[in-house]
Chain A
């Protein structure tokens, strides 16, 4: 079955960087965009960006431009999200999610999602 498994929880100090991984299985990794979404404690969902695992091309939300880097390793079907210059308000659960589109340039949606990775930023 299609599955996304993320790396474990992280605790970081302000100013540090964190790199979260998302290992895909059950489908052709290079055939689907991978997105990253975060959720601060008690808050809603916030889109961070996406990567085309085939080309490596990325699109980032303006809010994270300059601080986020999304990469992938096709040999192990894994996507990565690195966030730098961490602040306390970056404390959140970070999710990866596969973009599904049936016909190119038509509606698309996220399915499945990874289980989430809690990143805590604290001095």
Chain B
């Protein structure tokens, strides 16, 4: 299976900050990389698909980049509703795998 490693595992930031989360794959996955946001007690929500495409309805402060093995999710100006856990996911192989998650907390 392809291993997905996110960093950091947790992050404290303030409203208005610019935040970057990194996801690294154990082998090249081209652009088969998606990002999800999960809030406590809720199902994950798709933010970014195919590495850099913004899902409809998701605010433009979210962006994704990368290809191959290294990817980033950037939030340009944190809003109160952005405090949540973020997961990357590879769909390059049928054996789908997720990163371990990055918990974004209020400083």
B60 CB-CB contact with A under 8 Å? no
Residue pair A116, B98 in contact (C-beta under 8 Å): no
Main secondary structure of the interface of B (DSSP, over half): loop
Interface size, B (range): 20 to 34
B106 CB-CB contact with A under 8 Å? no
- For A95, list chain B residues within 8 Å (CB): 43-44
- For A114, list chain B residues within 8 Å (CB): 43
Residue pair B43, A116 in contact (C-beta under 8 Å): yes
B72 CB-CB contact with A under 8 Å? no
Residue pair A47, B43 in contact (C-beta under 8 Å): no
Q: Of A44, A59, A100, A112, which contacts B98 at CB under 8 A?
A: A44
Contact with B along A80-123 (1 / 0, CB 8 A): 00000000000000010100100000111111111110000000
- For B32, list chain A residues within 8 Å (CB): 107-108
Q: How far, in Å, is B3 (CB) from chain A's closest CB?
A: 13
A106→B46 CA distance, assembly (Å) = 17
Interface residues of A, CB < 8 Å — how many?
24
With A35-B96, A44-B98, A45-B44 given, is the CB distance from A109 to B87 under 8 Å?
Answer: no
- For A73, list chain B residues within 8 Å (CB): none
B94 CB-CB contact with A under 8 Å? yes
A10 CB-CB contact with B under 8 Å? no
Q: How far, in Å, is A4 (CB) from chain B's closest CB?
A: 9
* Residue of chain B at shortest CB distance from A46: B98
Q: How far, in Å, is A1 (CB) from chain B's closest CB?
A: 12
A45→B94 CA distance, assembly (Å) = 16
- For B94, list chain A residues within 8 Å (CB): 50, 59
Closest 10 CB pairs of A and B: A107-B50, A113-B43, A109-B49, A47-B96, A45-B98, A111-B46, A109-B34, A44-B101, A44-B100, A108-B91
**Given contact pairs A107-B49, A107-B91, A112-B43, a sample of 7 additional A-B residue pairs in the complex whose CB atoms are under 8 Å apart:** A44-B99, A44-B101, A45-B44, A45-B89, A109-B49, A110-B36, A111-B55
